[in-house]
Amino acid sequence: MTLVFATNNINKVKEIRSALEAGFEIISLKEAGIDKEIPEPHDTLEANATEKSKTIFELTGRDCFSEDTGLEVDALGGAPGVKSARYANGEPQYADNIAKLLDKMKGIANRKARFRTVISLIMNGKETLFEGVCEGHITEERIGTEGFGYDPIFIPEGAGQTFAEMPLDEKKKMSHRTRALVQLIDWLKKEQQPAAG
């Protein structure tokens, strides 16, 4: 089964591809011949994910999915959350976003945070939402060079290192995105099963 993945983020494509099971394939927007940046104007991850998948379904008519991810920090009342991509200055700049977050967290002892991913799947024209969460905490400084986004300042629960210190194979075992994807795949497998009786 092939699904269009409504993203231009090469890191997200890599992560999702590495976690896919045999029998499932994704193609990126570029590979689907779409050269379009889809806006994320809404106040929730769910609404942004829905906007992206619906836009791609309208353009291609193909089964597709999108995802939107946010980093929710308890001490900051859940910020940056849905605004994670443009936290610092309106443009998606990883280094500036991290610098702003570490600055806001200076001197704060409660560093609990989580990544939350919402996937919107459109299959046969009908939408289904899936969610994946990874609990963890924010470091005092950047550590590691792998991954992308906020990976250098996030240590997932039960791990002794940041996502940016892990090879992709390690991150994918516990990542929010993989957890949402696993639910999506389980759902697809059930849908594909012939009805009993």
| Nearer to ligand IMP among residue 118 and residue 122 (C-beta) | 118
One-letter identity of residue 44: T
- Within 106-175, residue ranges assigned H as helices are 168-174
> With binding defined as CB under 6 A, does residue 92 bind ligand IMP?
yes
CA distances from 151 to 97, 125, 162 (A): 11, 34, 6
> With binding defined as CB under 6 A, does residue 78 bind ligand IMP?
no
> With binding defined as CB under 6 A, does residue 68 bind ligand IMP?
yes
Angle, CA of 156, 113 and 162, to the nearest 5°: 30
Among 5, 13, 40, 178, binds ligand IMP (CB under 6 A): 40
Q: Secondary structure of the chain: what % helix, strand, coil (to 5)?
A: 35, 25, 40
**Segment 5 to 24, residues that bind ligand IMP, using CB under 6 A:** 9
Least distance to ligand IMP from the beta carbon of 191, Å? 25
Q: Do 177 and 69 form a contact (C-beta atoms < 8 A)?
A: yes
Residue 151 a catalytic site member:
no
The first and second tokens of residue 173, run together, are 């075992």
Active-site annotation holder among 35, 43, 63, 68? 68
Residues that bind ligand IMP (CB under 6 A): 9, 40, 68-69, 71, 84-85, 92, 94, 97, 115, 147-151, 163, 175, 177
Q: Which residues are catalytic?
A: 68
